[in-house]
Amino acid sequence: GETLHCRLQWVPLEEGEALLLVEDRTEAMRLERMRRDFVANVSHELRTPLTIVRGYVETALDAPTPLPPPLAGYLEQVHAQAVRMQRLVEDLLTLAQLEGTQPPPAKWVDVGELLETAAAQARGVAPEGLTVEVDFPPQPGAILGVRTELESALGNLALNAVRYTPAPGRVVIGARAAENGEGELFVRDTGIGIAPEHLPRLTERFYRVDRARSRDRGGTGLGLAIVNHVAQRHEARLFIDSAPGKGSEFRLRFPSGRWREGEAVK
C-alpha cells in the first residue's frame, strides 16, 4: 500500500525522437523520511532528561546556603550548557516538523502583530546600546499563512540581527509593499555583515561563518534553515543583502495571493 515516487525527465533527441527517463525515488524518499523521524525522535527523547538536569542545577544554584566558589562556577557552566542543548533540541524538533509535515491550514496573520512579537523577542536579548525598532507601513495588512511558523521565521531573523550586531547599533524589523501586489517582511541591522562567498550556503543546517561567535551568542546553526523552510511553505523567497562591516538586510518576499494591505481581518 505504499505510494510509488517517480521522477520523470523528458530528453529530446535528434530526428524527432525523445527519451522518457523514469527514476524510482521511492527508496530515497523512504530513507529521507527515516532520517527525519530519527532526528525528531532523538530530539524528543532528549527533552525530558535536559529539563531534569536543568531543574536540579537551578535548585542547587538557588540553595539557601551559598555554594563554595569553584562549585558554583562549575554549576553555572552546567546550567549554560543545558540551556544551549535545550535550544538545539527545540530547533531540531521545529526543523523536523517543517520538513516532514504538511502545513496546517493558512489564515490571515496580522503583519503589525508579527512585527511587534519579533521586536519584543529581540529587545529581550538586546544589550545596552542596541536599539530595536519596528518600521510600520501606513497599513500593515496581513499574510496568508501559519502564525507560529511566521513568528518563528521573523523571530529567528530578529535574534540573528541582535546576535551579529555589536553595540552601539540598530536593528529595524519592518514590512513594505513590493511591486505587483507582492509584499515583504524585512530585518535590517548595522552589524558585522556577511561576505558574499558565504551567502549561497547560509541556509544549510549548521552552516556558520564563524562557529565560535555563533556559539558564544547562543546560536544553534539552524535558524536560517528554519527560516528557509518557512519561506518555502509560504511560497515566499528569501533575499539577503549584506556588506561586511556595514550590516545586513534579510527579506521575506510573499506573492500577491498571500499578501494583503489594509486592515487585517482576524
The binding site for ligand ADP (CB under 6 A) comprises 156, 160-161, 163-164, 189, 191-194, 202, 207-210, 214, 219-225, 248
* Helical segments of 128-188, H only: 147-163
Using the minimum distance from each CB to ligand ADP, give the nearer residue, 57 or 119: 119
**Nearest approach, Cβ of 159 to ligand ADP (angstroms)?**
8
**Nearest approach, Cβ of 218 to ligand ADP (angstroms)?**
8
145 Cβ contact list (under 8 Å, min separation 6) = 106, 107, 109, 233, 234, 254, 258
Question: Do residues 111 and 234 make contact, with C-beta atoms less than 8 angstroms apart?
Answer: no
**Nearest approach, Cβ of 138 to ligand ADP (angstroms)?**
27
Using the minimum distance from each CB to ligand ADP, give the nearer residue, 107 or 211: 211
Using the minimum distance from each CB to ligand ADP, give the nearer residue, 58 or 216: 216
Question: What single string gives the DSSP state of each residue in 52-120?
Answer: HHHHHHHHHHT-SSPPPHHHHHHHHHHHHHHHHHHHHHHHHHHHHHHHHSPPPPPEEEEHHHHHHHHHH
Using the minimum distance from each CB to ligand ADP, give the nearer residue, 149 or 189: 189
Rg of the chain on CA atoms, in Å: 22
**Nearest approach, Cβ of 111 to ligand ADP (angstroms)?**
21
Using the minimum distance from each CB to ligand ADP, give the nearer residue, 94 or 141: 94
**Nearest approach, Cβ of 49 to ligand ADP (angstroms)?**
23
